[in-house]
Copies of this chain bind each other. A is one copy, B any other.
Amino acid sequence: MTDFPSLAEAEARDAADPLAGWRDRFTLPEGVIYLDGNSLGALPVATRALMHDAVDRQWGEGLIRSWNDADWIGAPRRIGDKIAALIGAAPGEVIACDSVTVNLYKLMGAILAARPGQGRTILTESGNFPTDLHVAAGIAAQHSLVLDACSREAIADRIGPDVALIVLTHVHYKTGERFDMAAIQALADAHGVPLIWDLSHSTGAVPLNLAADAARFAVGCGYKYLNGGPGAPAFLYVAAEALEFLGSPIQGWMGHAAPFAMTDDYAPAPGIERFLAGTPPMLSLLALEAGVDLMLEADRDALWTKSQALFDFLGQLMATRCPELQPITPARADLRGSHASFAHPNAWPINRALIDAGVIGDFRAPDVLRLGLTPLYLGFADIWHAVDRLATIMGEGRWQRSEYSAPTRVT
């Protein structure tokens, strides 16, 4: 009778899923279907114990000694090296520190300072993630450049000698659209224009090979698919051959060649550590490490295969059961990330009603319902139930209830 996959079919697919066991590595609340791991990743079981240890033993017992004994001092580089392995970079090319915002600022400032007078604009995509646009606007003004935020379609044509720097988000936070990294990078290289990739919605989500794609500069987020915890530190990537030409505009003591020599004069660390600024927030950094360790353990090809299967399964269900919601994420796997977005003029109250029904998705202004597909801890039955509940909300018009009418903060 139905023209959409049955729950039994979903359960059969879960039973056959080689990644199904991974769900037990996360502590998800009872009765919740979590489709927002692209905004804040779930808590790994191992992280709980590690954080208790970090607080109770490393800080409480070890005190200041843990900077050496627990190698806190090495954490930004150690975790950076682990992230490097996830994104196709080499050890020494990635450092875990600060936020995406601050890392973008440091990297943009470093590149612009290294190439004074070259180009007139900073090129980015209109509708890019706000922090990318805001940081770019601020630094453009500081360097007497013009911010050129144009449509995705126009980007390629805009790349030319006028451009001082390009900043692109690899997977779009709202639509899920993915740039062809190798193609755009080659175009930028052909014009000799440096290009920074924001990998916030890519890392741990889609296949990444920065070396193969010849990407030289990137930043990325720790609290989404890396499951690093709320506001986890971010990362910054500079290809080895570019590093020596760059210095951070924020010259902090942790980026000094010899931080504990305590000299008045600044000398940047020879390696990627030069992009460190202040003392890193160690508890948050250690939680990030646990998330990265878990991701390193997973078979990333299998993850991406499952992400595609979940996406297609969701699309099939949505098209038949919730046709009022318009899919805006590209259907072709190589053109998107690991989340699926749907437009509806009432996306805000729909999302609120969905949360009350035990399905945590995400709203993104002005009209997008965003559903994150995290293959490590989501199954096909989860997707089935989520759409089933959404179909009920839509069918009953439940989102029109007054309790869902007043916008509040949504993260």
Choice from B135, B138, B248, B281 contacting A281 with Cβ under 8 Å: B281
Interface residues on A, range: 35 or more
Choice from B47, B134, B253, B411 contacting A260 with Cβ under 8 Å: B411
Pairwise interchain contact A60-B233, C-beta atoms closer than 8 A: no
Instruction: Give Cα A138 to B66, complex, Å.
Output: 30
Which residue of chain B is the closest to A173 with respect to CB atoms? B262
A220 interfacial by beta-carbon distance below 8 Å: no
A230 interfacial by beta-carbon distance below 8 Å: yes
In the bound complex, residues from chain B placing their C-beta under 8 Å from that of A250 are: 101-102, 105, 135, 138
Choice from B72, B248, B264 contacting A127 with Cβ under 8 Å: B264
CB distance from A136 to the nearest CB of B (A): 9
Q: How many copies does the complex hold?
A: 2
Pairwise interchain contact B229-A279, C-beta atoms closer than 8 A: no
Pairwise interchain contact A410-B277, C-beta atoms closer than 8 A: no
In the bound complex, residues from chain B placing their C-beta under 8 Å from that of A65 are: 355, 360
Instruction: Give Cα A118 to B287, complex, Å.
Output: 45
Q: Select the stretch in A49-57, A160-168, A210-218 that faces chain B.
A: A49-57
Instruction: Indicate the member of A99, A126, A229 with the most B CB atoms within 10 Å.
Output: A99
A362 interfacial by beta-carbon distance below 8 Å: yes
* Closest 6 pairs (CB-CB, A-B): A99-B278, A101-B278, A281-B284, A101-B252, A138-B251, A230-B282
